[in-house]
Amino acid sequence: MGSLTGKTALITGGSEGIGLGIADAFAREGADLVLLARDPGKLDAVAARLHGASVRTVAVDLAEPDALAALPADLAVDIVVNNAGVTHLKALEDTTDADFDAMVRVNLGVPFRLVRRLLPGLVAARGNVVNISSYWGTKMVDGRPASVYSATRGALNSFTQALASELGPAGVRVNAIVPGSVRTPAFERRFLGPMSDDQRADYDDYVRRSYPAGRIGLPADVAAAALYLVSPASTWVTGSILTVDGGFAVR
């Protein structure tokens, strides 16, 4: 039996990247899964890939104001992983009200509303919440504009610690993970893919200089941290903002 046998974990943004990595790690430890993402085709593919686990999927765009109405009324889970996020790294004057609203709604509003919705089950299970944050919540990089995005990630860190204090007496642990750059499909599509050979060489040099571990992360790196935070190995860990970044924050 795995460490999560008999547990049900809900993961937002569970169809690729970090969310899929966490889903795979949890499934290997015996968890049943509830995966939320926008693309039903990707969700179906993930459910087929994780054929050894019980996988329930909900196709929903979490940027929509009434997105959580799509959740089954009887849903109860032991673990919530708030992984879905919206990123618009724009100068302040170029950040639209729609950009602002989307980042606040998904990066902060969804974790708040989802935990509130599922709180009775979490309390009954003495369960766990893991919020996937970002180094942008505490560290600015090379003058790149990120005012609103950084604000939402800093707020998520504060929400994590405040909620850990509030829910600790009820037996619910709440922690966050702060990853560095992670080689996800989205990172490949939006950032690495468009680079020229010279730009990629410059970026590789930047990574060697900026990450003591000498590389950016993989989804499995973050998944291992998430698995630790929801496992019996971390029963005295709550309110933690766990940095998983190959040492990026110390340089």
Amino acid in position 230: V
Contact assessment for residue 55 and residue 47, using Cβ atoms and an 8 Å cutoff: yes
Query: What whole-number distance in Å separates Cα of residue 61 and Cα of residue 70?
Result: 10
Residue 121: how many CB atoms within 10 A of its CB?
A: 17
Is residue 149 part of the annotated active site? The answer reads yes
Q: Exactly one of 149, 203, 211, 228 is catalytic; which is it? A: 149
Contact assessment for residue 242 and residue 174, using Cβ atoms and an 8 Å cutoff: no
DSSP E strand boundaries for the chain? 8-12, 32-37, 55-59, 79-82, 128-132, 173-179, 241-244
Question: Annotated catalytic sites, by residue?
Answer: 149
